[in-house]
Structure 1
Protein backbone atom coordinates (compact mmCIF):
# COMPACT_ATOMS: atom_id res chain seq x y z
CA UNK A 1 0.00 0.00 0.00
CA UNK A 2 2.78 2.45 0.92
CA UNK A 3 4.69 1.60 -2.27
CA UNK A 4 1.64 2.30 -4.40
CA UNK A 5 1.17 5.76 -2.86
CA UNK A 6 4.86 6.45 -3.42
CA UNK A 7 4.72 5.38 -7.08
CA UNK A 8 1.60 7.35 -8.10
CA UNK A 9 3.29 10.78 -8.05
CA UNK A 10 6.30 9.39 -9.94
CA UNK A 11 4.11 7.77 -12.61
CA UNK A 12 2.09 10.96 -12.92
CA UNK A 13 5.27 12.99 -13.36
CA UNK A 14 6.58 10.62 -16.05
CA UNK A 15 3.27 10.59 -17.94
CA UNK A 16 3.00 14.38 -17.80
CA UNK A 17 6.57 14.90 -19.03
CA UNK A 18 6.08 12.36 -21.82
CA UNK A 19 2.88 14.11 -22.87
CA UNK A 20 4.62 17.48 -22.82
CA UNK A 21 7.45 16.20 -25.01
CA UNK A 22 4.95 14.78 -27.50
CA UNK A 23 2.95 18.02 -27.48
CA UNK A 24 6.10 20.10 -28.04
CA UNK A 25 7.01 17.97 -31.08
CA UNK A 26 3.51 18.40 -32.55
CA UNK A 27 3.48 22.10 -31.67
CA UNK A 28 6.31 22.80 -34.12
CA UNK A 29 5.22 20.36 -36.86
CA UNK A 30 4.17 22.23 -40.02
CA UNK A 31 1.38 20.71 -42.10
CA UNK A 32 1.83 20.03 -45.81
CA UNK A 33 0.41 18.06 -48.72
CA UNK A 34 -0.29 14.42 -47.86
CA UNK A 35 -0.84 14.89 -44.12
CA UNK A 36 -4.10 13.47 -42.74
CA UNK A 37 -5.78 15.48 -39.98
CA UNK A 38 -8.82 15.26 -37.70
CA UNK A 39 -10.90 18.32 -36.87
CA UNK A 40 -13.17 18.27 -33.84
CA UNK A 41 -15.57 21.08 -33.01
CA UNK A 42 -16.92 20.40 -29.53
CA UNK A 43 -20.69 19.84 -29.58
CA UNK A 44 -20.91 20.23 -33.37
CA UNK A 45 -21.02 16.81 -35.03
CA UNK A 46 -21.67 18.33 -38.49
CA UNK A 47 -18.48 20.41 -38.31
CA UNK A 48 -16.24 17.63 -36.97
CA UNK A 49 -14.29 15.66 -39.56
CA UNK A 50 -12.77 12.32 -38.57
CA UNK A 51 -10.18 12.10 -41.35
CA UNK A 52 -9.20 14.48 -44.13
CA UNK A 53 -6.08 14.38 -46.34
CA UNK A 54 -4.55 17.70 -47.35
CA UNK A 55 -4.51 18.25 -51.13
CA UNK A 56 -1.40 18.75 -53.26
CA UNK A 57 -1.80 22.47 -52.55
CA UNK A 58 -1.86 21.76 -48.78
CA UNK A 59 -5.50 22.74 -48.38
CA UNK A 60 -8.90 21.15 -47.68
CA UNK A 61 -12.56 22.01 -48.09
CA UNK A 62 -14.50 22.74 -44.91
CA UNK A 63 -18.27 23.20 -44.38
CA UNK A 64 -19.53 26.82 -44.41
CA UNK A 65 -15.97 28.15 -44.89
CA UNK A 66 -14.85 26.62 -48.18
CA UNK A 67 -11.20 26.08 -49.06
CA UNK A 68 -8.81 26.34 -46.09
CA UNK A 69 -5.05 26.68 -46.58
CA UNK A 70 -3.24 24.48 -44.02
CA UNK A 71 0.23 24.27 -45.63
CA UNK A 72 2.92 25.70 -43.41
CA UNK A 73 0.65 26.02 -40.37
CA UNK A 74 0.92 24.10 -37.10
CA UNK A 75 -2.16 22.28 -35.75
CA UNK A 76 -2.57 25.07 -33.17
CA UNK A 77 -2.45 27.77 -35.86
CA UNK A 78 -5.06 25.88 -37.89
CA UNK A 79 -7.26 25.61 -34.77
CA UNK A 80 -7.07 29.40 -34.33
CA UNK A 81 -7.88 30.01 -38.02
CA UNK A 82 -10.93 27.72 -37.95
CA UNK A 83 -12.11 29.17 -34.64
CA UNK A 84 -11.89 32.72 -36.02
CA UNK A 85 -13.76 31.83 -39.21
CA UNK A 86 -16.53 29.91 -37.42
CA UNK A 87 -17.02 32.48 -34.66
CA UNK A 88 -19.85 34.95 -35.09
CA UNK A 89 -21.67 33.91 -38.27
CA UNK A 90 -21.90 30.21 -37.42
CA UNK A 91 -21.09 29.67 -33.75
CA UNK A 92 -20.91 31.87 -30.66
CA UNK A 93 -17.90 30.28 -28.96
CA UNK A 94 -16.45 27.45 -31.10
CA UNK A 95 -13.99 25.08 -29.45
CA UNK A 96 -11.89 23.55 -32.22
CA UNK A 97 -9.14 20.96 -31.97
CA UNK A 98 -6.94 19.73 -34.81
CA UNK A 99 -4.73 16.66 -34.61
CA UNK A 100 -2.43 14.96 -37.10
CA UNK A 101 -3.54 11.37 -37.74
CA UNK A 102 -1.00 10.41 -40.41
CA UNK A 103 2.14 12.23 -41.41
CA UNK A 104 3.22 12.53 -45.04
CA UNK A 105 5.69 9.95 -46.32
CA UNK A 106 9.47 10.21 -46.43
CA UNK A 107 11.34 8.84 -49.46
CA UNK A 108 14.45 6.71 -49.62
CA UNK A 109 16.40 5.82 -52.76
CA UNK A 110 19.75 4.50 -53.88
CA UNK A 111 21.42 1.49 -52.29
CA UNK A 112 18.53 0.09 -50.24
CA UNK A 113 16.69 -3.14 -50.98
CA UNK A 114 13.21 -1.60 -51.26
CA UNK A 115 13.45 2.08 -52.32
CA UNK A 116 10.27 4.15 -52.23
CA UNK A 117 7.98 6.15 -49.99
CA UNK A 118 7.27 5.07 -46.41
CA UNK A 119 4.96 6.39 -43.69
CA UNK A 120 6.70 8.73 -41.29
CA UNK A 121 6.76 7.76 -37.60
CA UNK A 122 7.62 10.23 -34.82
CA UNK A 123 11.19 9.70 -33.57
CA UNK A 124 12.33 8.19 -36.88
CA UNK A 125 16.09 8.09 -37.51
CA UNK A 126 17.97 7.20 -40.67
CA UNK A 127 18.89 3.82 -39.18
CA UNK A 128 15.19 2.96 -38.71
CA UNK A 129 14.29 4.35 -42.15
CA UNK A 130 16.84 2.00 -43.72
CA UNK A 131 15.35 -0.91 -41.79
CA UNK A 132 11.87 -0.02 -43.08
CA UNK A 133 13.24 -0.07 -46.64
CA UNK A 134 14.60 -3.61 -46.30
CA UNK A 135 18.15 -2.71 -45.31
CA UNK A 136 21.22 -1.71 -47.30
CA UNK A 137 22.48 -3.45 -50.43
CA UNK A 138 25.99 -4.90 -50.57
CA UNK A 139 27.20 -1.82 -52.47
CA UNK A 140 25.85 0.77 -50.00
CA UNK A 141 28.10 3.24 -48.21
CA UNK A 142 27.04 4.47 -44.77
CA UNK A 143 29.46 7.36 -45.26
CA UNK A 144 27.74 8.64 -48.42
CA UNK A 145 24.19 9.43 -47.31
CA UNK A 146 22.39 12.69 -48.03
CA UNK A 147 18.99 14.08 -47.05
CA UNK A 148 17.02 16.80 -48.78
CA UNK A 149 14.69 18.31 -46.20
CA UNK A 150 11.11 18.87 -47.32
CA UNK A 151 11.02 22.17 -45.42
CA UNK A 152 14.21 23.47 -47.14
CA UNK A 153 13.13 25.73 -50.03
CA UNK A 154 16.63 25.56 -51.59
CA UNK A 155 16.43 21.72 -51.70
CA UNK A 156 20.12 21.50 -50.75
CA UNK A 157 21.33 17.95 -49.94
CA UNK A 158 22.92 17.68 -46.50
CA UNK A 159 25.27 14.96 -45.30
CA UNK A 160 23.68 12.51 -42.86
CA UNK A 161 24.69 9.74 -40.47
CA UNK A 162 22.70 6.72 -39.32
CA UNK A 163 21.53 8.66 -36.24
CA UNK A 164 20.24 11.68 -38.21
CA UNK A 165 16.54 12.37 -37.56
CA UNK A 166 14.19 11.90 -40.52
CA UNK A 167 11.20 14.22 -40.95
CA UNK A 168 8.02 13.84 -43.01
CA UNK A 169 8.56 14.56 -46.70
CA UNK A 170 12.36 14.17 -46.52
CA UNK A 171 14.18 12.55 -49.45
CA UNK A 172 17.09 10.29 -48.50
CA UNK A 173 19.72 9.08 -50.97
CA UNK A 174 22.22 6.33 -50.13
CA UNK A 175 25.10 6.17 -52.61
CA UNK A 176 27.41 3.31 -53.51
CA UNK A 177 30.69 2.95 -51.71
CA UNK A 178 33.96 2.87 -53.63
CA UNK A 179 36.22 -0.12 -53.12
Structure 2
Protein backbone atom coordinates (compact mmCIF):
# COMPACT_ATOMS: atom_id res chain seq x y z
CA UNK A 1 0.00 0.00 0.00
CA UNK A 2 2.82 2.40 0.85
CA UNK A 3 4.54 1.67 -2.48
CA UNK A 4 1.29 2.51 -4.31
CA UNK A 5 1.09 5.85 -2.49
CA UNK A 6 4.63 6.78 -3.51
CA UNK A 7 3.87 5.84 -7.12
CA UNK A 8 0.74 8.01 -7.11
CA UNK A 9 2.66 10.98 -5.66
CA UNK A 10 5.43 10.52 -8.25
CA UNK A 11 2.88 10.51 -11.09
CA UNK A 12 1.18 13.65 -9.77
CA UNK A 13 4.47 15.54 -9.53
CA UNK A 14 5.42 14.38 -13.02
CA UNK A 15 2.15 15.72 -14.45
CA UNK A 16 1.85 19.03 -12.55
CA UNK A 17 4.64 20.95 -14.27
CA UNK A 18 3.13 20.21 -17.70
CA UNK A 19 -0.21 21.76 -16.75
CA UNK A 20 1.53 24.79 -15.22
CA UNK A 21 3.64 25.29 -18.34
CA UNK A 22 0.54 25.27 -20.55
CA UNK A 23 -1.17 27.84 -18.32
CA UNK A 24 1.91 30.06 -18.38
CA UNK A 25 2.09 29.95 -22.19
CA UNK A 26 -1.62 30.61 -22.71
CA UNK A 27 -2.17 33.95 -24.45
CA UNK A 28 -5.21 35.85 -23.24
CA UNK A 29 -7.77 37.36 -25.60
CA UNK A 30 -11.35 38.65 -25.72
CA UNK A 31 -13.71 36.26 -23.96
CA UNK A 32 -11.28 35.08 -21.28
CA UNK A 33 -11.93 35.97 -17.64
CA UNK A 34 -9.13 36.61 -15.16
CA UNK A 35 -8.78 37.04 -11.42
CA UNK A 36 -6.08 39.44 -10.23
CA UNK A 37 -5.04 39.36 -6.58
CA UNK A 38 -2.40 41.23 -4.66
CA UNK A 39 -1.27 39.49 -1.48
CA UNK A 40 -2.62 41.09 1.69
CA UNK A 41 -4.50 43.75 -0.31
CA UNK A 42 -8.16 42.60 -0.55
CA UNK A 43 -9.26 45.96 -2.01
CA UNK A 44 -7.16 45.27 -5.09
CA UNK A 45 -8.82 41.93 -5.88
CA UNK A 46 -10.24 42.26 -9.40
CA UNK A 47 -12.18 39.81 -11.54
CA UNK A 48 -12.67 40.86 -15.16
CA UNK A 49 -13.83 39.47 -18.47
CA UNK A 50 -11.70 40.66 -21.35
CA UNK A 51 -13.71 42.43 -24.04
CA UNK A 52 -12.79 43.21 -27.67
CA UNK A 53 -10.63 46.17 -26.63
CA UNK A 54 -8.33 43.79 -24.71
CA UNK A 55 -8.13 46.25 -21.83
CA UNK A 56 -9.26 45.82 -18.22
CA UNK A 57 -9.48 48.38 -15.43
CA UNK A 58 -7.35 47.89 -12.32
CA UNK A 59 -7.28 50.10 -9.20
CA UNK A 60 -4.53 52.76 -9.19
CA UNK A 61 -3.45 51.80 -12.73
CA UNK A 62 -6.60 52.59 -14.73
CA UNK A 63 -6.53 50.58 -17.96
CA UNK A 64 -4.19 47.62 -18.43
CA UNK A 65 -3.71 46.01 -21.85
CA UNK A 66 -4.07 42.25 -21.28
CA UNK A 67 -5.03 40.85 -24.67
CA UNK A 68 -2.09 39.13 -26.35
CA UNK A 69 -0.27 38.62 -23.05
CA UNK A 70 0.25 35.67 -20.71
CA UNK A 71 -0.74 35.72 -17.05
CA UNK A 72 2.93 36.00 -16.11
CA UNK A 73 3.37 39.10 -18.31
CA UNK A 74 0.30 40.72 -16.74
CA UNK A 75 1.64 39.99 -13.24
CA UNK A 76 4.86 41.83 -14.15
CA UNK A 77 2.97 44.83 -15.62
CA UNK A 78 0.76 45.21 -12.53
CA UNK A 79 3.71 44.64 -10.18
CA UNK A 80 5.69 47.39 -11.94
CA UNK A 81 2.70 49.76 -11.84
CA UNK A 82 2.07 49.29 -8.12
CA UNK A 83 5.70 49.09 -6.95
CA UNK A 84 7.04 52.21 -5.32
CA UNK A 85 4.12 54.62 -5.61
CA UNK A 86 1.52 52.39 -3.95
CA UNK A 87 3.20 49.32 -2.47
CA UNK A 88 6.74 48.45 -1.44
CA UNK A 89 6.77 44.83 -2.59
CA UNK A 90 3.50 43.80 -4.28
CA UNK A 91 2.92 40.06 -4.69
CA UNK A 92 0.65 39.89 -7.74
CA UNK A 93 -1.17 36.76 -8.88
CA UNK A 94 -3.14 36.50 -12.13
CA UNK A 95 -5.19 33.38 -12.79
CA UNK A 96 -7.56 32.40 -15.56
CA UNK A 97 -11.09 31.95 -14.23
CA UNK A 98 -12.78 31.08 -17.54
CA UNK A 99 -11.33 30.40 -20.97
CA UNK A 100 -12.98 31.58 -24.18
CA UNK A 101 -14.97 28.84 -25.92
CA UNK A 102 -14.38 26.64 -28.93
CA UNK A 103 -17.21 25.64 -31.26
CA UNK A 104 -18.17 22.30 -32.76
CA UNK A 105 -20.81 21.63 -35.41
CA UNK A 106 -21.77 19.16 -38.09
CA UNK A 107 -22.41 15.51 -37.33
CA UNK A 108 -22.25 15.63 -33.53
CA UNK A 109 -25.17 15.00 -31.19
CA UNK A 110 -25.04 18.36 -29.37
CA UNK A 111 -23.39 21.03 -31.54
CA UNK A 112 -22.54 24.39 -30.02
CA UNK A 113 -19.96 26.37 -28.10
CA UNK A 114 -18.10 24.79 -25.19
CA UNK A 115 -15.63 26.23 -22.69
CA UNK A 116 -12.02 25.56 -23.63
CA UNK A 117 -9.98 23.45 -21.23
CA UNK A 118 -6.18 23.12 -21.22
CA UNK A 119 -4.89 20.01 -23.01
CA UNK A 120 -8.17 19.59 -24.91
CA UNK A 121 -7.98 17.21 -27.86
CA UNK A 122 -10.58 16.48 -30.52
CA UNK A 123 -11.65 13.19 -28.91
CA UNK A 124 -12.43 15.05 -25.66
CA UNK A 125 -14.25 17.78 -27.61
CA UNK A 126 -16.38 15.12 -29.30
CA UNK A 127 -17.26 13.70 -25.90
CA UNK A 128 -18.35 17.17 -24.72
CA UNK A 129 -20.57 17.41 -27.81
CA UNK A 130 -22.30 14.12 -27.00
CA UNK A 131 -20.33 12.03 -29.50
CA UNK A 132 -20.73 11.46 -33.20
CA UNK A 133 -24.06 10.91 -34.95
CA UNK A 134 -24.71 7.74 -36.96
CA UNK A 135 -24.05 9.65 -40.19
CA UNK A 136 -20.74 11.17 -39.09
CA UNK A 137 -17.63 10.68 -41.17
CA UNK A 138 -14.75 8.96 -39.43
CA UNK A 139 -12.16 11.07 -41.27
CA UNK A 140 -13.71 14.31 -42.60
CA UNK A 141 -12.92 16.45 -39.55
CA UNK A 142 -11.71 20.01 -40.00
CA UNK A 143 -10.72 22.80 -37.65
CA UNK A 144 -10.86 26.45 -38.64
CA UNK A 145 -8.32 28.36 -36.58
CA UNK A 146 -7.18 31.98 -36.67
CA UNK A 147 -3.41 32.22 -36.94
CA UNK A 148 -1.93 35.74 -37.02
CA UNK A 149 -5.28 37.20 -38.05
CA UNK A 150 -5.96 34.81 -40.93
CA UNK A 151 -8.20 31.74 -40.96
CA UNK A 152 -6.46 28.44 -41.50
CA UNK A 153 -8.19 25.08 -42.12
CA UNK A 154 -6.59 22.08 -40.46
CA UNK A 155 -7.46 18.47 -41.25
CA UNK A 156 -7.84 16.83 -37.85
CA UNK A 157 -7.88 13.45 -36.14
CA UNK A 158 -8.80 12.44 -32.60
CA UNK A 159 -5.44 13.53 -31.16
CA UNK A 160 -5.46 17.05 -32.67
CA UNK A 161 -5.27 19.75 -30.00
CA UNK A 162 -8.17 22.17 -29.78
CA UNK A 163 -7.50 25.85 -29.09
CA UNK A 164 -9.86 28.58 -27.87
CA UNK A 165 -11.92 30.11 -30.70
CA UNK A 166 -11.43 27.00 -32.88
CA UNK A 167 -14.38 25.99 -35.03
CA UNK A 168 -14.57 22.21 -35.43
CA UNK A 169 -16.60 20.77 -38.31
CA UNK A 170 -17.47 17.07 -38.37
CA UNK A 171 -18.41 16.05 -41.91
CA UNK A 172 -21.07 13.60 -43.03
CA UNK A 173 -20.30 10.09 -44.26
CA UNK A 174 -21.82 8.90 -47.50
CA UNK A 175 -22.14 5.32 -46.26
- The TM-score with structure 1 as length reference comes to 0.87
1:20 aligned onto 2:17: yes
Unaligned runs of 5+ in 2: none
Q: Any stretches of 5+ residues in structure 1 without a counterpart?
A: none
**May I ask how many residue pairs the two structures share in their alignment?**
175
Q: Measure how far apart 1:8 and its partner are.
A: 7.0
Q: CA deviation at 1:12?
A: 4.9
Deviation at 1:9, TM superposition (A): 6.1
Q: Secondary structure at the match of 1:149?
A: strand
Contact 1:33 1:57 in 2 (8 A): yes
Tell me the equivalent position of 2:145.
Answer: 149
Deviation per CA, 1:74-98, whole angstroms, max 9, x where unpaired?
1101100111111122112111011
Partner of 1:69: 65
2:150 counterpart SS class: coil
CA-to-aligned-CA distance 1:90-148 (integer Å, 9 cap, x gap): 11211101111211111011222221100112222111211211222232212111112
1:51-70 Cα offsets, whole Å, 9 max, x none, are 32111223211111112111
Q: 1-side partners of 2:42 and 2:106: how far apart?
A: 47
Q: CA deviation at 1:152?
A: 4.7
Q: Which has the higher strand share?
A: 2
**What is the rounded CA distance, in whole Å, between the counterparts of 2:126 and 2:11 in structure 1?**
31
1:165 Cα deviation (Å)? Answer: 1.4
Instruction: Work out whether residues 38 and 92 of structure 2, in 8 Å CA contact, stay in contact via their aligned partners in 1.
Output: yes
Q: Equivalent residue of 2:64, what SS?
A: strand
